[in-house]
Homo-oligomer: A and B are copies of this chain.
Amino acid sequence: MGYNFAAGPSVLPAEVLKKAQEELLDYAHSGMSVMELTHRGPEFSDILSRAKASLRDLMQIPENYKILFLQGGASTQFTMVPLNLAQGKKAYYVESGSFGKKAFTEAQKLAKVIDFEPISLGSTEQSGFDHLVSFASSQIDPEAAYVHVTLNNTIEGTAIYDLPETNGVPLVGDMSSDILAVNYDVTRFGLIYAGAQKNIGPAGVTLVIVREDLLPQVEIFSSMMDYRILAENDSLYNTPPTFGIYMAGLVFDWVKSLGGVPALEENNRKKARLLYDEIDQSSFYQSPVKFEEERSICNVTFRTNSPEMDKKFIAEADQLGFKNIKGHRSVGGMRASIYNAFPYEGVNELVKFMKEFEEKNDL
């Protein structure tokens, strides 16, 4: 056996996979696999409405927010968000990591054909995104459409735990890597989006939670990118990723069974603390993150004193069953992605290995 530290797609709850396996050929005595159910029938309709209700409950999403199950990943939202929300307005971007930068770049691309003004509130790229951009509420034009933030920077291992003040302008949050893992206040956001493949379910489902008053008033040039059309059709404008939505529903039930998001956040903090304590008490390992309070509890990045030693660490870890601990190719080092479904024992075992590796190699 081993532990899968992948940043996404990543480990899923064993109970969820087992349940999916059990009913893969026959869902709820229908004689059909979930994958064979028509999306217009009563069985799938039930799956979708229960998934929505569970998520609303788990994240305490008020009734004036729509929940959409879409496709295309967070990367598609980089275009859909400004297209739907920003026409004729300013939209602010915070570039504290690679994905925040991408979101801004895509907004700039779109601004060549659609009238809106994407503005960067700053970038920490020059120092390798080793800390978060800070900005003052007074920098925000109160007439702007939104302030876009990436809650958790998967690649760099930083995260926002204190939501910034934005002069009354709605926050738009890319929550791909810590949705359901950190207990954010949904009412602080105008829109939240997240790819499923870290804390929700298999890749291929994208969650969008949007405040009704932000649905577009203008015609959008593609029905599949129009939040209003997608919301009015309750995610069934065309065939949705039915099996992925079913899996997400099972994960939501699992989160609930463990005590909900606050309980999982507490557990995630414990797992992260184990690792950060080890990193801090050692001079062999370092965190590339500048400020302690900005360290991610979902993606713990660390490195040794040299890329060669990192390589050795990754190879030996892999041999022992610590899989996918290699940092993202753009930053190097190591990364332990320890989302909701990642077990505490796995972190414990990794820390043991880190100690052993240090002893052998810190000459």
Inter-chain contact A72/B72, CB cutoff 8 Å: yes
Inter-chain contact B237/A75, CB cutoff 8 Å: yes
Within 8 A of B (CB), among A195-228: 195, 197, 201-205, 219-225
Inter-chain contact B202/A242, CB cutoff 8 Å: yes
A166-200: CB near B (< 8 Å → 1, else 0) gives 00000000000000000000000000000101000
Residues of B near A2 (CB, < 8 A) are: 31
Inter-chain contact A238/B75, CB cutoff 8 Å: yes
A155 to chain B, nearest CB (A): 12
CA distance A25 to B242 in the complex (A): 20
- Whether A18 is near chain B, meaning CB under 8 Å from some CB there, is yes
Inter-chain contact B18/A21, CB cutoff 8 Å: no
Q: Who on chain B is nearest to A73 by CB?
A: B238
Residues of B near A79 (CB, < 8 A) are: 221-222, 224-225
- Whether A243 is near chain B, meaning CB under 8 Å from some CB there, is yes
Inter-chain contact B110/A222, CB cutoff 8 Å: yes
- Whether A150 is near chain B, meaning CB under 8 Å from some CB there, is no
Inter-chain contact A109/B219, CB cutoff 8 Å: yes
With A35-B247, A36-B4, A72-B224 as contacts: A203 and B109 at CB distance below 8 Å:
no
Most chain B CB within 10 A, of A1, A37, A113, A243, is at A243
Residues of B near A36 (CB, < 8 A) are: 4, 6, 9-12
- Whether A158 is near chain B, meaning CB under 8 Å from some CB there, is no
A1-42: CB near B (< 8 Å → 1, else 0) gives 110101111111010011011001100000111011111010
Residues of B near A324 (CB, < 8 A) are: 38, 41
A72-114: CB near B (< 8 Å → 1, else 0) gives 1111101100000000000000000000000000100110111
- Whether A244 is near chain B, meaning CB under 8 Å from some CB there, is yes
CA distance A78 to B75 in the complex (A): 19
- Whether A346 is near chain B, meaning CB under 8 Å from some CB there, is no
Inter-chain contact B4/A197, CB cutoff 8 Å: no
- Whether A240 is near chain B, meaning CB under 8 Å from some CB there, is yes
A33 to chain B, nearest CB (A): 5
CA distance A109 to B33 in the complex (A): 37
Task: Other than A78-B223, A78-B224, A204-B204, give 13 A-B pairs with Cβ distance below 8 A.
Answer: A4-B36, A9-B36, A9-B38, A10-B36, A12-B36, A17-B35, A32-B323, A35-B247, A71-B204, A78-B222, A79-B224, A195-B239, A197-B239
Closest 8 CB pairs of A and B: A204-B241, A79-B222, A71-B71, A6-B38, A35-B202, A75-B238, A21-B24, A204-B204
Residues of A within 8 A of B (CB): 1-2, 4, 6-12, 14, 17-18, 20-21, 24-25, 31-33, 35-39, 41, 71-76, 78-79, 106, 109-110, 112-114, 195, 197, 201-205, 219-225, 237-244, 247, 323-324
